[in-house]
Amino acid sequence: MIALLGALILFPPPGREIVVDPRGPVATLSAALRLAAPGDRIVIHAGTYHEPEITVDKRVQIIGEGGPVFIGGGHQILTVTADSVTIRGLVLRGVLPASSEDRAAVKFIGVHGCAVENNVLLDTFFGIYLSKSTGCRIAGNRVRGSGRSEALTGNAIHSWSSSDLVIEDNVLSGHRDGIYFEFTTNARVTRNRSSSNIRYGLHFMFSDGCIYRDNLFAHNGAGVAVMYSHDVLMAGNRFDSNWGAASFGLLLKDISDSRVESNRFVSNTVGLYAEGTNRVRFEDNEFNANGWAVKIMANAAGNLFRRNRFLNNAFDVASNSTGNTSVFEENYWDHYTGYDLDRDGYGDVPFRPVRLFSLIVQQNEPALILLRSFFIDLLDVAERVMPVLTPETLVDRRPLMRLPS
């Protein structure tokens, strides 16, 4: 009987539970994985675990109880190569940066159906790294780094050549980028808080069909960058307090056929910067207390700005061109001083949101010190009456008289 009980502890049947405890018969996660069969559940008790890189090559659940701590050092902590692996309730810390490899706390390579939930990652080079993986869920994790330079700091959540991801309710800070996507399609990114990262709160390139909803991107080096993609929806997000000489809330570069809806851009150097942006709908967004609310470049064409709110911005719209092929209609502008004689809710006089002074500042930034001067106000009034330098076609012909509800 004793021999049988010992065999069950060391070689439990498939689908059973294996307990890892520093004081028990199975003292390490590596030992538990050697004993495990596909479908087993590995429960790790509280403690501090110093192990070499751990490879998870079986379909198992790895569940921490009491916050077990795994220390990395000069190697990756977990490398997952099996499908349908769940990792929950662990504390992963101390993965040292390297110039020759992308070390991570957890790296998934070519897997399907993984889940990383409710873990804490502290001072790891890369946090959670997905490579050629599909159908994974990254939720409820806290990933905090202390990086000081882009070269020696990885991304909190990094995805390369992956698809159908769900990334939600994570808190990300102190990394190069909070979330980084490259060649990643059909991802859903919701309710994350990405702040105080060195470069971007969110950065994605060549990633089509993605949805970003109800996230907060605040106090990052340069806000959020969306590049070389199409069919993207960004809705209900907040871009807050991204300040710097080359900073913005949201940079759009070479994207098309997308929507930017119901977002708030608050206290950014530039709220929205659009370059090579085509056939994108910007609707029901709020631009509040930014330096420049919107900078739209000459190569941005066929876009629609409708029912957006422009409040308390130093400059509402700026452009590097005297032409414009985008449409501005039914927006609310707090700088609008027109009238509504027919009481239809729209101003009877079109509004030109590009100030002459904004063009002067773009050419000579120190001129910004004159922003509140009476002379500059006279210049702007004269340009609106007889536009010569500002884009004649960049005009809202039906400005809203009242803030939309």
- 29-75 pLDDT tens trace: 999 999 999 999 999 999 999 999 999 999 999 999 999 999 999 99
Answer yes or no: do 264 and 185 share one domain: no
Nearest to 166 by CA among 144, 189, 143: 189
Which range of residues forms the domain containing residue 215?
18-221
CB atoms within 10 A of CB 235: 18
Answer yes or no: do 109 and 182 share one domain: yes
At position 146, the amino acid (one-letter code) is: S
Answer yes or no: do 247 and 208 share one domain: no
Answer yes or no: do 404 and 341 share one domain: yes
Answer yes or no: do 80 and 173 share one domain: yes
Beta partners for residue 227, in sequence order = 205, 253
Global confidence as pTM: 0.89
CB burial of 163-186 (b: ≥16 within 10 Å; e: otherwise) equals: bbbebbebbbbbbbbbbbbbebbb
Answer yes or no: do 231 and 195 share one domain: no
Answer yes or no: do 57 and 183 share one domain: yes
The reply to whether 380 falls in a domain is no
- Which of 179, 201, 221 terminates a domain? The answer is 221
How buried is residue 237: exposed, middle or buried, by Cβ count under 10 Å (0-12/13-18/19+)? buried
The reply to whether 27 falls in a domain is yes
- Which of 221, 248, 264 terminates a domain? The answer is 221
The reply to whether 361 falls in a domain is no
Residue 120's CATH number:
2.160.20.10
Answer yes or no: do 120 and 242 share one domain: no
- Reported confidence tier of residue 353, pLDDT bands at 50, 70, 90: confident
Nearby residues of 378 by Cβ (< 8 Å), 6 or more positions away: none
CA pair distance 253, 275, nearest whole angstrom:
5
Tell me the per-residue pLDDT of 81-128, one tens digit each, with 9 for 90 and over: 999 999 999 999 999 998 888 999 999 999 999 999 999 999 999 999
Percent of the chain beyond pLDDT 90? 74
The reply to whether 301 falls in a domain is yes
Domain total of the chain: 2
Q: 240 with 218: CB under 8 angstroms?
A: yes
Nearby residues of 63 by Cβ (< 8 Å), 6 or more positions away: 41, 42, 43, 44, 86, 88, 89
pLDDT over threshold 60, residue 350: yes
- Which of 221, 242, 261 terminates a domain? The answer is 221
